[in-house]
Amino acid sequence: MATLELLGFGQNGWGALLLVATLMTLAVTATALLIGAVLGTLVATAKLSGNVLLVGLGNVYTTVFRGVPELLIIYLIYFGGSSAVTAVGQWLGYEGFLGLPSFAAGALAVGIISGSYQAEVYRGAYLAIAKGELEAASAIGMNRMLRLRRVVMPQVLRYAIPGLGNVWQLTLKDSALISVTGLAELMRTSQVAAGSTRQYFLFYIVGGVLYLLLTSFSDRVFNRAERRANRSMPAAAMGQA
């Protein structure tokens, strides 16, 4: 009974807070995924450009942000960003410490990591487009932009869906690390609830179950999206895509 009360929505219950925290986790993950999509597209374009300098920069980006612990990158953005903001503040005449908002810092840090994985997903998807289709598009006189919009983008998006599903799951789990910045997402709220009620086991189990619900639910969404995107493809080709 006491357990139910702790998890409920009553006066002493943490139910409402945990629910809000779950939504916060979803919000910060979605923001990070979007930031990652922008960065990933840029990095993938750089890596595919054939320009030695751009390819090198792209390789450095994906190597560093996939090879260094996520926690370290969050520290870099959170503490580094805060000192940058403080420096700007002092320059504008504001004395004292200014912190970067934890949502922005967390979403940016996880977005940078997510971008390094998404870059590889988009690059693979682009390389999966049949060369003949690109040549055919040029042959009938499409310019670069038109070809990108009509031939490249629709196919890249379709080929990228399974990989993007994996990146979403990774990003969702990485978002738990944003708790170190104090953002009240699911991990942080479970921690606070566990600490203030001394019911560590209960609240970490509940937090873990909520994460499992999020990951299995989003798995379903991505599977459905994959089926939908491939609905015009012959059944045999679907297995390969």
Partner 1 sequence: MDIAFLSSAMVTLLKAVPMTLLLFSLSVFFGGLLALVIVTMRVSGNRILSGFAKGYIFVFRGSPLLIQMFLVFYGLGQFGVIRYSFLWPFLREPVVCAVLSLALCTAGYSAEIFRSGIRAVSPKEIEAARAIGMSGFLLVRRIIAPIAFRHALPAYSTEIVLMMKSTALASLVTVWEVTGVAQRLISQTYRTMEVFLCAALIYLVLNFLILQGMALLEHSLSKHRRAAPPSAVKA
Which residue, 69 or 154, is less far from partner 1 as judged by CB?
Answer: 69
Q: What character string, x for contact with partner 1 (CB under 8 A) and - otherwise, covers 55-74?
A: --------xx--xxxxxx--
For residues 37 and 193, which CB has a smaller minimum distance to partner 1 in the complex? Answer: 193
Which one of 12, 132, 135, 198 is in contact with partner 1 (CB under 8 A)? 198
Per rule CB under 8 A, is residue 80 in the interface with partner 1? yes
Beta strands in the chain (DSSP E): none
Helices (H) and strands (E) in the chain, counts: 12, 0
Structure tokens at 180: 């170190």
Is 103 a binding residue for partner 1 by CB under 8 A? The answer is no
Number of residues engaging partner 1 in binding (CB under 8 A): 37
Cβ closest to partner 1, residue 79 vs residue 103: 79
User: Residue 101 has which token pair?
Assistant: 């908002």
Q: Does 6 bind partner 1 (CB under 8 A)?
A: no
d(CA 44, CA 41): 5
136 binds partner 1 (CB under 8 A): no
Task: Label residue 152 left, alpha or beta by phi (over 0 means left) and psi (-120 to 50 means alpha).
Answer: alpha
Dist CA 176 CA 70 (whole Å): 11
CA quadruple 39, 42, 44, 47: dihedral sign: negative
Q: Report the C-alpha gap between 39 and 114 in whole angstroms.
A: 9
Closest approach of partner 1 to the CB of residue 207, in Å? 5
What does the block give as tokens for 211? 């994460």
Decide if residue 240 touches partner 1 (CB under 8 A). no
> What separation in angstroms does the CA of 153 have from each of 125, 156, 159?
10, 5, 10
Candidate ranges 119-127, 131-139, 159-167, 193-201; the one touching partner 1 (CB under 8 A): 193-201
Q: Smallest distance, Å, CB 82 to partner 1?
A: 9
Q: Say if CB 24 and CB 18 are below 8 A apart.
A: no
Residue 211 binds to partner 1 (criterion: CB under 8 A): yes
208 makes contact with partner 1 (CB under 8 A): yes
Minimum Å gap between C-beta 72 and partner 1 is 5
Q: Of the two residues 31 and 82, which places its CB atom closer to partner 1 in the complex?
A: 82
Distance (Å, whole) CA 128 – CA 122:
10
Nearest to 73 by CA among 117, 38, 119, 34: 117
49, 59, 83, 196: which one contacts partner 1 (CB under 8 A)? Answer: 83
Give the interface with partner 1 as residue ranges (CB under 8 A): 63-64, 67-72, 75-76, 79-80, 83, 172-177, 179-180, 187, 190-191, 194, 198-201, 204-205, 207-208, 211-212, 215-216
